[in-house]
Chains A and B, each alone.
Chain A
Amino acid sequence: MSKLTMVEALNLAMDQEMARDENVCMLGEDIGINGGVFRTTKDLQKKHGEDRVMDTPLAECGIVGAAIGMAIYGIRPVIEIQFSGFTMQAFDQIEQNMARLRNRTQGKYTLPMVLRTPYGGGIRAVEHHSESREAYWAHTPGLKVVIPSSPRNARALLAASIREDDPIVFYEPKAVYRAFREEVPDEPELMEIGKADIVRAGNDLTLISYGAMMRPCKEAVEDLAEDHNINVELIDLLTISPMDTETLTRSVQKTGRCVIVHEGHRTCGIASEIIARLNESAFEYLEAPIKRITGFDIPFPYFQVEEHFLPESEEIVNAIKETRNWQ
């Protein structure tokens, strides 16, 4: 066990997977000697060589497209797009090929590839560096979308993603990259993709979130337990698509009340999908309308005011109290 930041934990996962399987390679801008703009791939090129940790030209569509070809050829590329806002350059290759090649070829060609990219706000970055557009990829048939929330689950989910035969969009909450440390086992550890985690059991209300928003959610849940004697069940989605509807359903059938928090935009966001599913699977158990706290439907604001855009724990506390008391 070592106490690692998320950046160090992700690095550990990639290092161990590269050591385990010579077909695992990395492509991305500045990921080699520079170790990536967030240093997530630090020293990997030194350890595994330039042939396996490849600095690429500055072209996101090119990175994804080239990785697709390599994956068809039996290699397992792990690619880094510097910021999730830049994946829009690669939308073409993600939609036309990455998401649908298995389907087009009826399984003759598979794409065991992972697209890693830091997402979300909170680090005082310039425009286009704070987007949370996971809904795009969850909306795209053929992809899986994974979003860890802590160093330990980031490591285990990335290692599992690298071993998957289906293409994965792996969103890394950059606000969490160095926010805290957590014990991470030295030996390889995997987590099943497609399973949500019940972080804290409770009976009064179900709070669903993922990624960087898990931190304010945890704060809110602790406050409510201490100050208001409200016992919240907190669920970390971890995999956005395919979504673990069963876990969400069981929880809401138990609590009858639900609040969802994410920083991505509201309209057609992940919360919209969760509410629709719970409407199908737990309608008769609901004792209050499901509430959502999300990013607003405006471009992510410039960093002088970003703190007001991102959901905070106090707002989450209020939403939970409101939903708890709804009659």
Chain B
Amino acid sequence: MASHHQDKTKSSAGDEVIPPSTPSEMNTSPIDLGHIEVMQILNEHGEVDQGLEPSLSDERLLEVYRAMILARTFDQRMLTMQRQGRMGTFAPNTGQEACTVGQVVPLTKDDWYSPSYRSFGAQIMRGWPMEHLMRLWAGFHDGFPPPENVNDLPFSIVIGSHVLPAVGLGMGMNYKKKNDCVVVNFGDGASSQGAVSEALNFAAVYKAPVVFVCENNGWAISTPTAKQTANEVIAARGVAYGIPSIRVDGNDILAMVFAVDEAAKRARNGDGPTFIEAITYRMSLHTTADDPTVYRDEQEVLPWGKRCPITRFEIYLKNKNLLTNDSIQEITESCEQEVIAARDKFYSMPSANPGEIFDHLYEIMPEELSRQRDEYRKRLDDKGVDYE
């Protein structure tokens, strides 16, 4: 895996001093962590490390940019809908778009993706229709199954419980001698779960083709990373299990794409798992049921606005003459229209069918369950509720 390069090119972004985006110098652990550097390719000023610049076509770069805008637009619309009482509890992703989108850019249709609940930007890029995700967050049973031809797991609600099955998918790829890989996303909070440690160990022992993306956004609801772990270098977990591990600036889309692409290539090549700790920041709420002002000094959030992954990528794309203020406006408007169209589609979709809740538990419904379903249907009949 590549190391940090210093040969940045100059940009026209000015010389404003922005604090570093990584807490590595704050680490006070007396243990030698193997000097896990934080890889950055595109810095806060839009300056690029040309030695590591991923080789994406102009068209692909613009697709990635649009996916980030779409994620932000979806995020804002979902918050609005939730505040209007037309959406369930929702976990916003504001400020994490580079990390979220970047981790699936290198994936093919045959690769698998195991998201967390904040990964909707990645899910959209993987082919989940936005109205489908709206159904999911609005509490419809048909929102959870991944769409046809999308090799994703549904996200887990119990933190970290999806990571072992994701490793199992990778073991399955080895078993069937496929050259594909799995990307699994989880957070700094999940890193404390025992099952996640077991997953890292299994992946390492069986050389499972898995890319672990630990999206360290600094907060697990109200618990900061410093209270989550005494070693804030979460990538050290990977090292402990014998997994090549790297820290990446999670607000740098180019670094994310580069790191995941390298890891995915290693995985597909039979070289086993990689651990990527992506350092980003949860600028918004844990969920719409959360009020961070109770536990977080909003001063802490401010610098992260200046590290906005979208703004940074815009400077880069402008420097490459791929974007202008006009085209940014066009893309923003088209994303807005796409999200509004998805919202309208969602609003026009059928209401929930209370009759289906027994249908998918077993391949063949056991007799006792069938009796309970009859009892339930009678309850619905008595209440005058329609069902299929």
Contact = CB atoms under 8 A, between A and B. Distances in A.
B360 A107 contact: yes
Interface in B283-331: none
Contacts of A246: 367
Contact of B363 (A93, A104, A108, A166): A166
Contacts of A314: none
Contact of A61 (B156, B195, B205, B368): B195
Interface stretch (A38-46, A62-70, A212-220): A62-70
A56 interface: yes
B362 A68 contact: no
Contacts of B156: 96
Interface string B186-212: 000000001100110110011000000
A68 B223 CA distance: 30
Given A93-B161, A242-B368, A69 B167 contact: yes
Contacts of B165: 65-66, 68-69, 72, 93, 97
A93 B173 CA distance: 21
B246 interface: no
Interface size class of A (residues with CB under 8 A): 35 or more
A127 interface: no
A56 to B, nearest CB: 7
A203 B119 CA distance: 63
A74 to B, nearest CB: 7
Contact of A142 (B162, B362, B368): B362
Given A97-B161, A103-B361, A105-B146, A62 B201 contact: yes
Contact of A56 (B173, B202, B363, B368): B202
Contact of B141 (A25, A51, A70, A106): A106
Nearest to A165: B363
A23 to B, nearest CB: 8
A102 interface: yes
B207 to A, nearest CB: 12
A76 to B, nearest CB: 11
B175 A70 contact: yes
B360 A73 contact: no
Contacts of B339: none
A105 B144 contact: yes
Contact of A75 (B164, B176, B202, B361): B176
B172 A104 contact: no
A72 B153 contact: yes
B176 A73 contact: yes
Contacts of A270: none
Contacts of A57: 198, 201-202, 205
Contacts of A245: 367-368
A108 B168 contact: no
B168 A73 contact: yes
B369 interface: yes
B158 interface: yes
Interface string B76-112: 0000000000000000000000000000000000000
A71 interface: yes
Contact of B198 (A62, A102, A194): A62
B366 interface: yes
B198 A70 contact: no
A121 B258 CA distance: 56
A69 B152 CA distance: 12
Given A66-B202, A69-B165, A110 B171 contact: no
B360 A70 contact: no
A179 interface: no
Interface in A19-64: 25, 51-52, 54, 56-57, 59, 61-62, 64
Given A62-B198, A107-B360, A245-B367, A73 B145 contact: no
Q: How large is the interface on B (under 10, 10 to 19, 20 to 34, 35 or more residues)?
A: 35 or more
B127 interface: no
A107 B176 CA distance: 22
B137 to A, nearest CB: 15
B154 interface: yes
A109 B158 CA distance: 19
A245 B360 CA distance: 22
A92 B199 CA distance: 13
Contact of B361 (A51, A52, A142): A142
A100 B144 CA distance: 12
B361 A70 contact: no
A65 B193 CA distance: 13
Query: Which of B168, B170, B205, B369 has the most chain A CB within a 10 Å cutoff?
Result: B168
- Which residue among A62, A144, A242 has the maximum number of chain B CB atoms within 10 Å of its CB? A62
Nearest to A55: B205
B381 interface: no
Contacts of B175: 25, 51-52, 70, 73, 75
B172 A72 contact: yes
A64 B202 CA distance: 11
Nearest to B182: A69
Contacts of B166: 69
Contacts of B146: 105, 108
Nearest to A64: B164
Given A93-B164, A106-B144, A141-B361, A75 B172 contact: yes
A194 B194 CA distance: 35
Interface in B320-353: none
A68 B164 contact: yes
Given A73-B172, A108-B145, A96 B161 contact: yes
Interface in B58-81: none
Interface in B211-270: none
A57 B197 CA distance: 12
Contacts of B359: 106
A242 B171 CA distance: 31
B361 to A, nearest CB: 5
Interface in B135-185: 141-142, 144-146, 153-154, 156, 158, 161-176
Given A25-B175, A194-B366, 15 more contacts: A54-B206, A65-B167, A69-B170, A69-B172, A70-B169, A70-B175, A72-B172, A96-B156, A96-B161, A100-B361, A102-B361, A106-B145, A142-B361, A144-B362, A242-B366
Interface of B: 141-142, 144-146, 153-154, 156, 158, 161-176, 194-195, 198-199, 201-202, 205-206, 359-363, 366-369
Question: Top 3 A-B pairs ranked by shortest CB distance?
Answer: A69-B168, A65-B164, A73-B172
